[in-house]
Chains A and B, each alone.
Chain A
Amino acid sequence: MSFDNALGAIAEDNDEARWAFGTGFHDPLAGVDTAVPDGVDRGDLASYCLMLGDDALIMSHRLQEWCTHAPELEEEVALANVALDLLGQARLLLARAGVAEDAVEEARRGEDDLAFFRDAAEFRNVRLTEVPNGDFAHSIVRLLLFSTWRLALLDRLRASRDPVLAAIAAKGVKEVAYHRDHAALWTIRLGDGTDFSHARAQRAVDELWPLTGELFGVHDVERRMADAGVGVDPSGVRAEFDAVTSEVLATATLRAPEPEPPRLAGRSGDHTPALADLLAEMQSVARAHPGATW
Chain B
Amino acid sequence: MLVVRVLGTLGILLVLSIIVFSMLHLAPGDIVKNLLGNRPSSPEAVAAIRAQYNLDQPLYMQYLIWLGNALTGDFGQSIRLQDSVSNVIGARLGITAALSGLAFVLALVVAIPLGVQSAVRSGSWIDRFATGVGIVGLSAPTFAVGLLLLYVFAFYLPIFPVYGSGDGGLDTLWHLVLPAITLALGLGAIILKLTRTAMLRELDSDYVTFGRARGLPDRQVHMIALRNAAIPIVTGASLVLTFLVGGTVLAETTFALPGLGTLLQGSVLFKDIAVVQALTLLVAVTIATIALLADLAYIFLDPRIRAKEGAQ
**A and B are partners in one complex rather than unrelated chains:** no
